[in-house]
Amino acid sequence: MDLNLSATQGMYVETVRRFVKTEILPGLLEVERKHAFPFSVVRRAWELGILNLSIPAVIKGFELDALSSALIIEELAYGDSGIATSAMCNDLANAVIAQHGIPSQQEAFLRPFVEEPLLASFCLTEPGAGSDNSAMTTFMVRREDGSYLLNGTKCFITNASFASQFTVFCKVGKPAGNFMACVIVPVPPPALEAIAGGFPTGREIFLPAGGCIAVGKPEDKLGQRLSNTAAVTFEEVVVTPEQIIGDRRRGFQYIIDVLDYARPMVAAIGVGLARRALAVTIDYTRERRQFGQRICDLPVARETLTAMWKKVELAKLALIKAAVTLDEKGSDRGLYASLAKNAAAEAAIFCANEGLHLHGGYGFMNEYEIAKLARDAHIIDIYEGVREVQNMIIGREIC
């Protein structure tokens, strides 16, 4: 395996690094304290072409391999993992359309994201069905005219307050049904002034075809405050057959396909955060002196920094393996996606926590970025499948 980046991949990385340096990092802590959604940053990312990475060439004009996408997401996360999560979730919502949608669906549901800086939401998790997707109760029932009515509630939905399209997984026929479907629900985009304000309080969307979508007040989260998260309730939403992706009985397989793509991208977020935690900690320990020498020169501190560096490098190797296996459509892509996700989450939490420790009392102050990174890191171990679920997948695949 050649671990050197191609010229094109190197260009992507340098472009995003410049973007992060000029658009994200300046004033980051102040913006984060306001909890305001950074739509101006999202718009600029869209203008640069580093949003909507999963859209196929037939719609977008060019196509990115999984490794290039992961490198872009990693660099975004080096700036802020919340912004990277919002960007990645556009692909999480749209990847299933790219993978299983027919050409007319790709044109209808993906083309708008090429033409405007829109946001999408991936609606899978429910209040009573987190890791156990089979326990979801959101369902659609067929009507005499061939359309369906969609009802149910999803929680922890990224981009929900500002989404112009919802990708929804649901049961077919009844809440306790055995089959799952994937449906796309486009909605009118929110007013630009609402997006620019960045402080949504809730949202009620009445659809022209019938039904209502109620988006709750954004969640007040421990970390990743620059990523919008809210609950979404679908009330008698009319769904036509054209909005159903693929076979309405194979939704569970589509979930697996999307998560095999998403987990390496989550790993990329973890690697980016871990790298940032290591970088700010090295900078701090080079400047701060104790016992007559730089903290980074103290043997106990250097040992910790070395352990942090090793975690970052091993997680990056796992990420590369997962992305390459995904690009090659390997039968073991799910195995390496889970490995990368767990390795990156472990690196992010370890580096953020140990970095905070090496900052001493200053690390506990919100004016230092390491405190933010410590808050942000924990969700990487949770979303898109908790650590234990990844271990279950790994155990199933190797036994």
Which residues are known to be catalytic? 384
Gap between the Cα atoms of 208 and 206, Å rounded: 7
**149 phi, psi to nearest 5 deg:** -110, 125
Beta strands in 277-375, from DSSP E residues, in sequence order: 289-290, 293-294
Gap between the Cα atoms of 89 and 103, Å rounded: 22
The gap from C-alpha 55 to its chain's centroid, in whole angstroms, comes to 16
Collapsing DSSP to helix, strand or coil, 134 comes out as helix
The DSSP secondary structure of 57-95, one letter per residue, reads HHHHSS---HHHHHHHHHHHHHH-HHHHHHHHHHHHHHH
Query: Tokens 């080096």 identify what position?
Result: 78
- Extract the tokens encoding 394: 């790994």
Burial of residue 382 (number of CB atoms within 10 Å: 0-12, 13-18, 19+): middle
Q: Which of 280, 236, 248, 231 is closest to 80 using CA atoms?
A: 280
CB contact at 8 A, 377 and 277: yes
- Extract the tokens encoding 22: 């000029």
CA distances from 248 to 105, 166, 294 (A): 15, 17, 62
Beta strands in 284-398, from DSSP E residues, in sequence order: 289-290, 293-294
Q: Which residues pair with 170 in a beta bridge?
A: 181
